[in-house]
Structure 1
Amino acid sequence: MKVEVLCATMHQTDLSKYKEMNIQTDAIFSNQADRHEYNEENINNYNVKMITTRSRGVGKNRNIGLLYSSADILMFSDDDMIYMDGYEEGVAEAFRRLPDADMIIFHCLTNSNRGTPNINKITKVRLWNFMRYGTFSFVIKKEAILKYNLNFSQLFGGGCRYCAGEDNLFLRDALKKNLKVYSHPFTIASVNHGASTWFEGFNEKYFYDNGAWLQTAFPILKHLLVWYFILKFANRTDLGKIETYKLQYAGMKAFKKGLSYYEWKTEAVNCKQ
């Protein structure tokens, strides 16, 4: 099985990230910068590509990586990861032992209190427990991508209209299309969760964007899940419960109009004048 790492990154000028991240397979870097450029090099007998575009948004750039991918097994990556020695064989062995698996979510270490789920054993991922995982832990067969026409949302995630949620939407779509998805305790990398490019705290924009995400991810259960998020973050925000309730419903309604948080705020101000 041929394995390939697909890394979304920004403002790179060369392929030094390949060694910094301890990548030991073929790799594709989808680089968001202020130019258009294609680089390809052979590093340690592996094929390494970097596709640089002016396109912004993590989902769009992950999709660019998918378009250029050619391996049997694709590993989604962020550029703040450092891969473990021998990860290629560990990943390939996991797929050999789980021949029906279309996708496997692997364990990652982190030095941050934001954390990553601690995976202790092999389990099936279901629609009722899928929201725990980040894209950097996703590993999927290229054939599943092609067969089920999977891709990442360009509306959610860093650099997009709404701040996060593209990972959950991708995994939800995979499960709804009946892909066999497992979580696996093999550790593939460590992740340095430093300052986020999108997370500014549990503020107005966070809850508004969360409402937009609920509208597309859970159109039936959204009314129940609104309260789940109100109660979950009650002690982590300065906003009151009624305010976070209203913001999430505002996000749901404005999502149908295609309005970002800032456009919605502007519209609300204009209506008051």
Structure 2
Amino acid sequence: MNIEILMATMAKAKISDIDWQAKNIISPLLLINQSDFNGKEVSDDITMISNTERGSSKSRNLAIENATGDICIIADDDVSYLEGYENIVKDAYSKYPDADIITFQIQTTEGKPFKPNYPVEEGYHSKMSILKCASIEITFKRKSIIDKGLKLDLEFGLGSKYRVHDEIIFLKDALSQGLKCVYVPIPIVVHPPESSGTDYNEALLFSKGAAFYRLFGISAIAYDLAFSLKKYSEYKNVFSFFDCLKLMIKGTLSYRKEH
């Protein structure tokens, strides 16, 4: 069972543009570099594929297509890994041999949990529990993903029409295809703490409304309402409650009309 890290980056001229010593990576690594040229560079256990396409989902899909590891870890170029991360991942897949996807935890550079409300209990994901997952928490069996033809939805994610929740939609599609997704409450990856919370703007709320329809169908309207109520204290200095709800429903109905 060999592990490979699939990392997304942008605007790099060569592999050495990244400070690899600080990342504590011991696995082979595939780097997808969205830049202004096409090419391939190999240095030791690092392969960099450069291309001129844009969008996080396109980057992840290209990584999946070119991956070779048995177990793949999704990564961004601003993360590093905790000592023993490979053994943690391997042990989890040994404990859950039927798991196709296992999500872990993120630790901040200050040594604290990245999210204050990580569940304590490990176990199988549901269509609700995946809503709190982040992309860099996700690992998967490459064969399971390839065999099901699973890809990230190109309409979602940074650089796409709808800029959020590409990773959640990926997990939802995996569950819908019958894949087993497991959560293990152990951190494997390190990321700087979030600075000032969510940057609420029209594009974000519109995109969330669309993503909720992609995830829940027409029930998305109820999720738009629940989100607008729950997050009011976070966005109230930018939008009124009704403006937030209106933007989300606009995104929901826009996506529904297109599909």
Same fold (TM over 0.5): yes
Hey, what does 1:101 align to over in structure 2? 99
**Which sections of structure 2, spanning at least 5 residues, go unmatched?**
none
Does the CA contact (< 8 Å) of 1:163 and 1:206 recur in 2? yes
Hey, what does 1:58 align to over in structure 2? 56
Separation (CA, whole Å) in 2 of partners of 1:217 and 1:158: 18
- CA displacement 1:125-170 (0-9 Å, x = unmatched): 1012210110101010011111211111211111111221101101
Q: Of 7, 12, 33, which residue of structure 1 is paired with 2:35?
A: 33
Does the residue aligned with 2:40 lie in a helix, a strand or coil?
Answer: strand
Hey, what does 2:75 align to over in structure 1? 77
Residues 1:137 and 1:101: Cα distance change in structure 2 (over 3 Å): same
Hey, what does 1:246 align to over in structure 2? 246
Offset of 1:15 from its aligned partner? 2.1
Separation (CA, whole Å) in 2 of partners of 1:191 and 1:53: 26
Separation (CA, whole Å) in 2 of partners of 1:193 and 1:95: 28
Does the residue aligned with 2:189 lie in a helix, a strand or coil?
Answer: strand
Q: Which range moved further: 129-138 or 231-240?
A: 231-240
State the AA in 1 paired with 2:89.
Answer: V
Separation (CA, whole Å) in 1 of partners of 2:28 and 2:97: 23
Count of equivalent residues: 252
Hey, what does 1:68 align to over in structure 2? 66
Separation (CA, whole Å) in 1 of partners of 2:12 and 2:21: 13
**Which sections of structure 1, spanning at least 5 residues, go unmatched?**
259-273
Separation (CA, whole Å) in 2 of partners of 1:160 and 1:135: 16
- CA displacement 1:87-145 (0-9 Å, x = unmatched): 11221111111111111101210259993353534221101221011010101001111
Hey, what does 1:220 align to over in structure 2? 218
Matched, 1:21 2:23: yes
- CA displacement 1:5-41 (0-9 Å, x = unmatched): 0001111222233433221101100111111110012
Hey, what does 2:150 align to over in structure 1? 150
Does the CA contact (< 8 Å) of 1:80 and 1:193 recur in 2? no
Larger Rg: 1
Matched, 1:10 2:10: yes
Does the residue aligned with 1:182 lie in a helix, a strand or coil?
Answer: strand
State the AA in 2 paired with 1:29.
Answer: L
- CA displacement 1:166-196 (0-9 Å, x = unmatched): 0110111111112111111232111125679
Matched, 1:136 2:131: no
Separation (CA, whole Å) in 2 of partners of 1:24 and 1:236: 39
Separation (CA, whole Å) in 2 of partners of 1:244 and 1:139: 34
Q: Kindly report structure 1 stretches of 4+ aligned residues shifted beyond 6 Å.
A: none
Identity %: 27
Hey, what does 2:202 align to over in structure 1? 204
Separation (CA, whole Å) in 2 of partners of 1:193 and 1:51: 29
TM-score (norm 1): 0.85
